[in-house]
Structure 1
Amino acid sequence: MGLQADSALQAILLFPVHLLVWLYSVLSFLPWYFITGAGERQAQSRREKARSTTDQAEGPYRSVDHFECLATEDFPGKDTLDKLFDHAVQRFGPGHCLGTRDILSEENEIQPSGKVFKKLILGEYRWLSYDEVDTIISQFGSGLAALGQQPKSSIAIFCETRAEWMITAQACFRRNFPLVTFYATLGDEAIAYGLNETGVTHLVTSVDLLENKLKSVLPLIPKLKHVIYVDQKKVSTEGYPAGLSIHSMEAVQELGSLPENMGRAIVKPQPCDLAVVMYTSGSTGRPKGVMIVHRNLIAGMTGQCERIPGLGPNDTYIAYLPLAHVLEMTAEISCVTYGCRIGYSSPQTLSDQSTKIKKGSKGDCSVLKPTLMAAVPEIMDRINKTVMSRVQEMNFIQKKLFTLGYNYKLDQIKRGYDAPLCNALLFKKVKKILGGQVRMMLSGGAPLSAATQRFMNVCFCCPVGQGYGLTETCGAGTITEVADISTGRVGAPLICCEIKLRDWAEGGYTSKDKPNPRGEILIGGPNVTMGYYRNESNNGDFYVDEKGQRWFCTGDVGEIYPDGCLQIVDRKKDLVKLQAGEYVSLGKVESALKNCSLVDNICAYANSEQNYVISFVVPNQKRLTMLAKQRGIEATWEEICTNPDMEREVLKEIKEVAANIKLQRFEIPMKVHLSPEPWTPETGLVTDAFKLKRKELKNHYLHHIERMYGGK
């Protein structure tokens, strides 16, 4: 009786709110519909976006906006990256280009667990104009030439995302020095392998990476002669190999500004010249260097920029993803080309709540107020769980109002509308987590769940586009249009490329599948790169067709909808055949089970000699700790994760979620191991785009695999 009385009281209290929402909807709908052009947006969402160039269901599919021929340039005649930057300097010379925050102070903060976290207080953004960046590029490029760097000879960069990375890249593009890029989190062996494979003599890095990562491997790289560090610090030259010169970036600039060096002739690149050798962090095996020429990058960026309406000098982009990742590099070069300003950040300083920001001081988003932002699904999932955990801490009325507003706006968005009053009253605070001005977010690197995409749409009041591309295609493949209100899809082919499907009989995917054709995704066009550096054994994924067009076989499995949009449904390498003959897509299982409230990250694993799936899980610390207390377990985080009762609780929720989303019985993990440590690129268990490294995860949890399969 008490529960029924409470429910009746709650309904009475919320009735005026429901009535107000209904009246608001009725009175505001028609004027809002016509003023905002909602009908036109709905038509844009429903329109055909790509179609097959043949009568075949497998394609190739091409954008209807460039159906006659593929686009290769956005600015006619600007067919190399140096020409694009020169064009930007002419147009936007005095405008802000690259911005960095000064560290005002730093201090160590001891956590309850005993761990020590470094906390920062940062200043305002300091900006370099396009003209100033142009001068620095000229001086630095001349300085590198004075140190013996030759045109068409590779130079390496191993550095965190920062303004100096982009300055180095532009200096190399201008002087035709092919740039070899490495993730800052690559292991020692992979770094040495890549530097030796490309035979570089010059390397640009940071003091932190030089002293803590590179120093131990430098004796293994005999051809390296010059190391340039980008920080304004002093570095001791003791302990480095004989014959290796260490320089500051500032000193190289000064060398380049001397009249005799500034006057050196510049060998300009051609569109077919090598611009970048990008080493992928790789989810399997040794890193591979993807060879990208100037025309590849320009074609890819032309396709990407066409899907970002209004890109220009009024935009501010926040840069925090690894610049050695093709998504971030092409995004930043595109922003510079169109006159946007780029403010540099890091995942540890992004928001006021980020791990390196001292409590009470401002994170980078709050100061910069970006309008454009790229993110990988892992980061969006974290934002989602952070906001929803705060909602759970609200009182009853606040929680009900938030849920009511969320569901109301969600319903409006699904129909192609919006809810301006909810935006102003409910989601204004949530928007401020990312500065409050974001007008478009782009997700790439891995599939984004429909639930997280809708959450970001609702709470951050902006379209969230999903993109699909690979390093081998310059990050270009597909991007959803701003007007597209669907979720779970990655959009239609960009105007620079086309897509076709290839039957994969073993996985059960063919172009004759109903309701839509499915198969392995092949991407063709001028954005498809030239193959892997000195790695002929892997170049079989590339081929040239009878028309001379290059294609890349992605290994991902897609489904093409009647409007020409693509959905990623599987990955060939993620498919495992169980003992009884059933095929399990590990990626599909992981994507589904990330919706569990107790799960922050999950890796499904299956052995072909066994008849069931197991999993490793990084649990949500806050929720699992609360659950442990409810079960009377008072212990450290590590003890909670190794407690069999907690393993059972997580497994119970996994099975419930799996049943709700109708995973097959054989796809549902039967056993679980909880990891107290999160998987970050620094641990070597995920890539810089937070993709799982299955081989490393298997080796790391080998003991637990044996235990879960009954070996121990």
Structure 2
Amino acid sequence: MDFLSHQSIPAILKVNARQFAKKTAVSFKKQGVFLSLTYEEFYERVLMLARGLVKVGLKPEDPVCIFSENRLGWAISDFGIQSARGIPVPIYATNTGKQAAYIINHCGAKIVFVSTKAQYEKLLEVRDEIPGVELVISYERFIGDRSFPVYTQYQLSEAGEPLLPEEKVEIERMIDQIAQQDLITIIYTSGTTGVPKGVMLTQYNIMSNAQIGLKQLGALKDQETFLSFLPLSHVLERTAGYYATLLSGQHVAFAEDVKKVMENMVEVQPTWMVSVPRLFEKIYSRVHENAHQLSPLRRSIFHRALQVGRDYANKKYVDGQVDGLLAMQYRLYDRLVFRKIRDRFGGRLRGFICGGAPLDRTINEFMWAIGLPVFNGYGLTETSPALTLCNLGAVRFDSVGKPLAMTELKLAEDGELLVKGPQVMRGYYKSEEKTAEIFSDGWLKTGDIARIDENGFVYIVDRKKEIIVTAGGKNIAPQPIENELKLDKYISQAIVFGDRKPYLVALLNPNLERLIDWSREEELDYLDTDELVKSNRVRALYTERIAELNKNLPPYATIKEFVLIPGEFTIEGGELTPTLKLKRKEIYNKYKEMVDQMYMKKGNGLVFQTTSTDGEKK
């Protein structure tokens, strides 16, 4: 379908509701069972909600907030608000009440959708700070406070009352009035570098990005299922995993929870998923963990299979040619090893679309080797989001692919990537100053340092603001070093610091499963994980692992000191964004004392410290 022959995303849904009337549009889990709605049924729910919003006074271009995790209600709200000509403004489900209040007040929303009582209670706590909110709508039924009444989406939609023909005509007339240059959403950035900014994206921005992205990726089959687990509040999932899927007549299944993604993959058997690198890091770690438990013979077969898989992936997808013997070896190991791995993830996956943060080359190559290709891309909230994307005919395992059609890229003198294209935002909401700052002669400044090779492949070096400049004047990109650290079987997460300092230091989360296995083999005695990581033998283990990494780095980029932190960085702990990127500023502030103390050492060799998950030195 040519998306751009239509004026809006709701207009395409209207067509699809007729063309794919009985085809499954969305699936969701309720009381332990996945249920579904056809395109016809989903569209009916959307129109009912739009009817209700019009009745309570929603006017064209009124912002409406959605404070929810991924679920059916989110999707109905989103399309319903658009169909009533409002502007959906998502709020991450992990946000606090105060964070939500800022967005609600800044955009001026009078109506807020919430998913659960827990989200409602966040708003109730800041009720005095959001005086403009007139109506709260919940996807679940519960009793709210008398001073802050809440209604259900079912009630607002008057779901028990079928749409009258004249009501449907009226809502569809409103849909027909939506223009390509109208705002489809205002998405507030995560605010990791300051106050969140409201990114204004148009119907044309999103539709063009979805259509061009799908074309660059390659044709979809007639029956595709996308499992949606990244927050729909984030533009990557919203455009690539949700809009692109529904606009092309495919099936979106909403995962129960981020923590149940692996389980849901087996249940739903998706063919495609959108993800960030953290999922692939976990898959890489889990597969290697399982291989570690195999007998010596089977472990040897696994490692041989991986070597053949890597050779095959490079020959076929990078070089574009595979000799017969290698292809035959790969088919053998695919039956013996890789097919069994894929079955653990549903068995039908054709590929992943990856963005949000750099994906390590080793992990990307591993995913292609086992037959779960990752189509790496790059973009920003401000660009709807995709600017580049790999495809089967254009793969480099350390690249984010080539520019999308109609997208122009160039490098500034300092290496910053500058862009123009149909996906570039209108600007920041109520902030002409910030809008002017991000544009230079019509080019949007991405804030990322990049390089572009002679074949047009784009490589992201690091965030411009995250480049470390040491006291000795050396410029160091921390993310490649962090990715190398995370490849170590005893390290789960890592973050490197060293800006304006004499050397680099690191905070490390151990891979506790691996470390506990090692401790059994070494017959260590300990009461809990805090005591385990304080063991002198554990200190020696990690000192040795970091020393091995340092051998492959130039002297100025080696890790001189590190702190081991039990547990993992989390969204709840404030260390990760909702899309699982490291919040460097927050992590530094939380562990500032530990980081600063590492610079009180002389830096002569590795110094090992440990800390509890609350930042208290041990």
TM-score by length of 2: 0.90
Counterparts of 2:533 and 2:428 in 1: how far apart (Å)? 42
Counterparts of 2:106 and 2:545 in 1: how far apart (Å)? 47
Which residue does 1:139 correspond to in 2? 48
- Kindly indicate whether residue 65 of structure 2 is the aligned counterpart of residue 156 of structure 1: yes
Which residue does 1:466 correspond to in 2? 376
CA contact (8 A) 1:596 1:654 kept: no
User: Deviation of residue 261 (structure 1)?
Assistant: 6.2
Alignment of 1:361-376 (within 5 A): 363-376=263-276
Which residue does 1:75 correspond to in 2? 3
Which residue does 1:612 correspond to in 2? 503
Which AA in structure 1 matches 2:312? Q
Counterparts of 2:433 and 2:4 in 1: how far apart (Å)? 37
Q: 1:562 aligns with which of 454, 459, 471?
A: 454
Which residue does 1:677 correspond to in 2? 567
Counterparts of 2:90 and 2:392 in 1: how far apart (Å)? 31
- Kindly indicate whether residue 6 of structure 2 is the aligned counterpart of residue 102 of structure 1: no
- Kindly indicate whether residue 319 of structure 2 is the aligned counterpart of residue 415 of structure 1: no
Unmatched 5+ residue regions in structure 1? 1-72, 104-121, 352-362, 505-518
3-state SS of paired residue (1:228): strand
3-state SS of paired residue (2:260): coil
Which residue does 1:433 correspond to in 2? 344
- Kindly indicate whether residue 290 of structure 2 is the aligned counterpart of residue 390 of structure 1: yes
Which residue does 1:23 correspond to in 2? none
CA contact (8 A) 1:143 1:252 kept: yes
Which residue does 2:199 correspond to in 1? 290
The 1:673/1:213 distance shift into structure 2, 3 A limit, reads farther
Counterparts of 1:148 and 1:648 in 2: how far apart (Å)? 67
Which residue does 2:613 correspond to in 1? none
User: Deviation of residue 145 (structure 1)?
Assistant: 1.4
- Kindly indicate whether residue 158 of structure 2 is the aligned counterpart of residue 254 of structure 1: yes
The 1:427/1:88 distance shift into structure 2, 3 A limit, reads same
- Kindly indicate whether residue 436 of structure 2 is the aligned counterpart of residue 540 of structure 1: yes
Which AA in structure 1 matches 2:505? I
Counterparts of 1:607 and 1:558 in 2: how far apart (Å)? 20
The 1:325/1:651 distance shift into structure 2, 3 A limit, reads farther
Question: What are the Cα deviations for residues 477-526 of structure 1, in whole angstroms up to 9, with x where unaligned?
Answer: 0000123342110111011412111110xxxxxxxxxxxxxx21112111
CA contact (8 A) 2:277 2:358 kept: yes
User: Deviation of residue 471 (structure 1)?
Assistant: 0.4
The 1:302/1:264 distance shift into structure 2, 3 A limit, reads closer
CA contact (8 A) 1:466 1:479 kept: yes
Q: What is the aligned length?
A: 583
User: Deviation of residue 652 (structure 1)?
Assistant: 2.7
Unmatched 5+ residue regions in structure 2? 317-321, 602-616
- Kindly indicate whether residue 279 of structure 2 is the aligned counterpart of residue 379 of structure 1: yes
3-state SS of paired residue (2:386): coil
CA contact (8 A) 1:169 1:179 kept: yes
- Select the structure of larger CA radius of gyration: 1
Q: 1:315 aligns with which of 206, 224, 229?
A: 224
Counterparts of 1:283 and 1:668 in 2: how far apart (Å)? 27
- Kindly indicate whether residue 128 of structure 2 is the aligned counterpart of residue 237 of structure 1: no
Alignment of 1:112-511 (within 5 A): 122-123=32-33, 125-231=34-140, 233=141, 235-238=142-145, 242=147, 244-254=148-158, 257=162, 266-267=173-174, 268-331=177-240, 332-345=242-255, 346-351=257-262, 363-416=263-316, 417=322, 418=327, 419-459=330-370, 461-504=371-414
CA contact (8 A) 2:450 2:462 kept: yes
Q: 2:445 aligns with which of 535, 544, 553?
A: 553
CA contact (8 A) 2:394 2:402 kept: no
Counterparts of 1:213 and 1:423 in 2: how far apart (Å)? 49
Q: 2:486 aligns with which of 589, 594, 598?
A: 594
Which residue does 1:658 correspond to in 2? 550
Question: What are the Cα deviations for residues 216-271 of structure 1, in whole angstroms up to 9, with x where unaligned?
Answer: 1232101001111112x3x1122x6x3x4411011111178575966756533211
3-state SS of paired residue (1:100): strand
3-state SS of paired residue (2:347): coil
Counterparts of 1:684 and 1:152 in 2: how far apart (Å)? 33
Among all aligned residue pairs of Structure 1 and Structure 2, give the percentage whose two residues are the same amino acid. 27
Which AA in structure 2 matches 1:605? F
3-state SS of paired residue (2:217): coil
Which AA in structure 1 matches 2:587? L
Which AA in structure 2 matches 1:237? G
Question: What are the Cα deviations for residues 437-465 of structure 1, in whole angstroms up to 9, with x where unaligned?
Answer: 00121111111111111111122x13221
The 1:623/1:412 distance shift into structure 2, 3 A limit, reads same
User: Deviation of residue 541 (structure 1)?
Assistant: 4.4
User: Deviation of residue 612 (structure 1)?
Assistant: 1.4
User: Deviation of residue 212 (structure 1)?
Assistant: 4.7
Counterparts of 2:463 and 2:499 in 1: how far apart (Å)? 17
Which residue does 2:319 correspond to in 1? none
Alignment of 1:639-654 (within 5 A): 639-643=531-535, 645-654=537-546
Counterparts of 2:549 and 2:193 in 1: how far apart (Å)? 29
Question: What are the Cα deviations for residues 586-610 of structure 1, in whole angstroms up to 9, with x where unaligned?
Answer: 22322332222211111111242x3
User: Deviation of residue 286 (structure 1)?
Assistant: 2.1
The 1:302/1:263 distance shift into structure 2, 3 A limit, reads closer
Which AA in structure 2 matches 1:405? A
Alignment of 1:17-36 (within 5 A): none
User: Deviation of residue 688 (structure 1)?
Assistant: 1.5
Counterparts of 2:419 and 2:543 in 1: how far apart (Å)? 39
CA contact (8 A) 1:593 1:658 kept: no
